[in-house]
Structures are given as C-alpha cells and as structure tokens.
Amino acid sequence: MKSAITALVAGVLACHPANGGTVPGPQKVSVHDVLTRPALVGKAVEVTGRCLGYSVPTVAVGSPPVTRSDWQLEDQGEAVWVTGSLPEGCTATTPAESASTISAVVAQDTMPGLGGQTPVPRQYLVRR
C-alpha cells in the first residue's frame, strides 16, 4: 500500500509545472522588436514608448491598420501603430510628454506593394 501511495504522489507531482503553476506574463519588448520580429505575432507583450496620438505627423509605416483612431507608440525614432485605448497622459491631439508602458498583443497585416511590388507584412499592436 505504501508503494502505491508513493507512486500516486510521484505521479501528481509530475503533473505540476516546475514553476508552481504560474502562467508567464507578457514578454517585455521594444518598439523595434515589435516591428522586426515576426515570431512575436499573436504574443502578449509589454512595450514602453511615447504615445504620439493620431493627429501628429505619421512616424509609423503606412496608414492606421484598423480604424482612423489607431495611434502611434514611438521609441528612439521608430513608431508602431496601436489599435485600442490611449494610455493615460496622451490624447488624440496631444502627444504624451513622457513614456508609458502598455500591454498589447502583436498583430500582423499586409500592406499592398507599390507599383506591382510584392505585398509587405506589417506588425502592429492591439491593446487589451
């Protein structure tokens, strides 16, 4: 009987993840990572940057991916489009004075190629 209990306990322990069952949080990445790493598509991420809103000159590539209200998150001269709510301290018409960190999921669409060129994949963020 003792060996049966030992085997049962060992089996139960083997079913639990080594990290105590915790689910890993979003991966912390840069704006550059979002723009250049296709492996991030579909992944939850945390990205830090300065919100530019949507009424300033466009830094991000192409037009807004989902709605006219999509906004830009900028870091070190690069910007990614974000669909979803603006972070605190940023409005549609006034860029934020300081950086903020947002949680989002990386999505991808395809921008048409110019002059018959091959369409180009583009990554953007979907804010939760």
Give the pTM.
0.78
Q: Indicate the residue type of 105.
A: V
Which among 38, 47, 109, 42 is positioned nearest to 74, based on CA atoms? 47
Q: How far apart are the C-alpha atoms of 32 and 74, rounded to whole Å?
A: 9
Residue 106 has pLDDT above 60, yes or no: yes
DSSP, residue by residue, 22-79: PPP-PEEE-HHHHHH-GGGTT-EEEEEEEEEESSSPP-SSSS-SS-TT-EEEEETTEE
- The total domain count for the chain is 1
Q: What is the per-residue pLDDT across 60-98, written as a single tens digit (0 to 9) for each?
A: 999 999 999 999 999 999 999 999 999 988 988 888 989
* Domain at 37, CATH number: 2.40.50.140
| pLDDT of res. 21 | 59
Helix/strand/coil for 105:
strand
Q: What is the per-residue pLDDT across 5-47, written as a single tens digit (0 to 9) for each?
A: 333 334 444 444 555 556 678 999 999 999 999 999 999 999 9
Q: Is residue 111 part of a domain?
A: yes
Quote the domain boundaries for residue 53: 25-127
Q: Is residue 18 part of a domain?
A: no
- Helix, strand, coil shares, percent, the chain, to 5: 20, 35, 45
Q: Is residue 4 part of a domain?
A: no
